[in-house]
Amino acid sequence: MTTGGEPTAAAFRSAVLGGRLDLPLPGGGRTAERFARLVALGRADPALARLGEGHADALAILAELGVAIDPAWRREPWGVWAAVPASVTATRDGDRWRLTGERQWCSGAGLLSRALVTATADDGVRLFSVEVGAAGVTPMADTWPAVGMAASDSRTVRFDGVPADAVGGPGRYTARPGFWHGGAGVAACWYGGAVGVADTLHDAARRRRLGPHAMAHLGAVDVALTAARRVLFAAADEIDANPTGDADRLAHQVRASVEATATIVVDRVGRALGAGPLCQDAGHARRVADLTVYVRQSHAEADLAHLGELVTAAGDPGW
């Protein structure tokens, strides 16, 4: 397991250079393998999973939007900085564009070579490819004071007239089914993070005799993780069987299921073992902090309300 900012950064670079983040594309018949590898990353280190998932997602987006991928790009660390598109504007500059504004939540701000960035243009929201080391790209200091996910180097990035290349047309980034497949992939990372937290309780039960209450918590953790795993990998099979199907609803189902499971696992492991691991096991404490922040990529009740609207529109919900 990586255990901090520099080890996580080094592990990310090593994984990119070694091709370990060249994952199968979602919907191509090997989505379960893609999810399994994201789960493994999350189990080892949620911050590494955040960076690795962003790199793999960027390459999938380029492929889905018909961009010819230079083989060298696979050995450069990529990310996707797509939160709050209106925070960055795009203006035409001949055959290229220029981006201006500030974007929060940019994971790998000081680690990436290239990023896919959403911005609002005169014809709608577009996606752009940007060289992170270009003049005018400034990762801002002291914009992520949190302990959780600190090793992901997530910061606010300022763009001052930065040259950029359009990737697909307006609206194409979110219109493709792969947008939702990527959202389910994030849930695979959450699931891996929850397994990593649960490992602490499982290891404790194997090393020493725990009381009946702690064993009950372990049983409940087993139920929750097993159910979420089946939801996650059934979704992988469904994505492969019907890549252009109801990806929006499926992704929301998976994310809500895994988010709930992660919450259960963190709570029950803490109740079973008390404060000891949180205070005396740096790796466990970091996993709990990282996972707590990571699952907040979910929009909680807003996502559930959207799912309710999708269920209502479906007529027959398929229950």
- CATH number, domain of 145, equals 2.40.110.10
What is the mean predicted confidence (pLDDT) over 221-247?
Answer: 97
pLDDT at position 72 is 87
Predicted confidence band of residue 2 (pLDDT cuts 50, 70, 90): low
Assign 69 a pLDDT band (cuts: 50, 70, 90). Answer: confident
Mark whether 216 and 259 lie in a shared domain: yes
Domain ends where: 130, 148, 170?
170
> Do 102 and 119 meet the contact criterion of CB atoms below 8 Å apart?
no
C-alpha span between 108 and 13 (Å, rounded): 11
**Residue 160 and residue 263 in one domain:** no
Q: Which residue range(s) make up the domain with 30?
A: 5-75
Q: What is the mean pLDDT of residues 68-94?
A: 94
Which one-letter DSSP state was computed for residue 316?
S
Please tell me the pTM assigned to this model. 0.96
Regarding whether 230 and 198 lie in a shared domain, the answer is yes
- 1, pLDDT greater than 60: no
Q: Give pLDDT, residue 6.
A: 64
Interatomic CA distance for residues 56 and 23, integer angstroms: 6
The domain boundary, picked from 170, 204, 230, lies at: 170
Shared-domain flag, residues 58 and 102: no
pLDDT in tens, 211-228: 999 999 999 999 999 999
| Alpha-carbon span 246 to 238, nearest angstrom | 10
Q: Is residue 308 part of a domain?
A: yes
- Based on the structure, what is the number of domains in the chain? 3
* pLDDT over 90 percentage in the chain: 94
pLDDT for the residue 222: 98
The residue whose two tokens read 């009950």 is: 216
Residues 179 and 307 in one domain: yes
Do 299 and 190 have their domain in common?
yes
Radius of gyration of the chain (CA): 20
Query: Given 57, 75, 93, which residue is the final one in a domain?
Result: 75
Q: Find where tokens 């691991």 sit.
A: 277
Q: Do 12 and 144 have their domain in common?
A: no
Is 141 in the same domain as 210? no
Question: Does residue 319 belong to any structural domain of this protein?
Answer: no
Q: What is the mean pLDDT of residues 62-80?
A: 93
